Amino acid sequence: GSSTDITNRKLAEEAQKEANERIQKIASRIPGMVYQYKLMKDGRSCFPYASAAIYDIYRVTPEEVRLDATKVFDVLHPDDREGIVASIQKSAQTLNPWRYEYRVKFEDEVRWLFGNALPEMQVDGSILWHGFIHDITERKMMEEELKALNEQLDKRVEEEMQARLKIEREQEIEREFLIQKTKNTTMGEMI
């Protein structure tokens, strides 16, 4: 028989487990989700790491997208999908940070999201982003309300200006009438 000392390997495994637990605890306190997104050279993509909050964002579990990101792309709003893909491709080509506002569409609602990630070229030619995605639906709704209020205010200001111009025109006509009346009275007295 032979024996092998595996103490170092066991210590390394334990340290790795503790580090993973620490990251999970930190990620659970961040609003939104933290993730790694990987785009392979052949065009396939996946989320090697995603915090549990991915369920709140995309309604999928980390395990469902660990090897294939298709389920995330399935819930992207149809009007935004092309822009998202183009922005990811541009970030991959330039290795510039990816920042994008977009929507996801579920049967019962549409949500606005903001993504921010830093790309990194991998040895195998794939690109790995490290980032976060945050739900900004509430902010977008407030922006829409503010826009509607501004439009109402602009309309009301325009109506007030039109009313004021009308009053000024009527007053000018009345002044001209009084001036003409005064002239006619003065001429009548002179005659």
With vertex at residue 170, the alpha carbon angle to CA 164 and CA 175, rounded to the nearest 5 degrees, is 125
Instruction: Please report the pLDDT score of residue 28 as a whole number.
Output: 67
Let me know: does 131 contact 118? Beta carbons within 8 Å: yes
Q: What strands, in cross-sheet order, belong to the sheet with 33-39?
A: 45-50, 33-39, 127-135, 110-121, 98-105
pTM, 2 dp: 0.69
How many Å apart are CA 149 and CA 23, to the nearest integer? 43
Query: Do the Cβ atoms of 30 and 134 come closer than 8 Å?
Result: no
**Beta strands in 80-141, from DSSP E residues, in sequence order:** 98-105, 110-121, 127-135
Q: Which stretches of the chain score pLDDT less than 70?
A: 1, 27-29
Residue 150 tokens, joined: 């501004």
Residues 174 and 153: their CA atoms lie apart, in Å, by: 31
With vertex at residue 79, the alpha carbon angle to CA 84 and CA 111, rounded to the nearest 5 degrees, is 80
**Which pLDDT score is estimated for 80?**
97
Three-point CA angle 74, 88, 48, nearest 5°: 65
| pLDDT for residue 29 | 66
Q: Please give the helix or strand (H or E) that residue 13 lies within, else none.
A: helix 7-28
| pLDDT attached to residue 1 | 67
Tell me how many degrees the CA angle 89-92-96 measures, rounded to the nearest 5.
115
Backbone angles phi, psi at 157, to 5 degrees: -60, -45
- CA-CA distance, 103 to 114, in Å (whole number)? 9
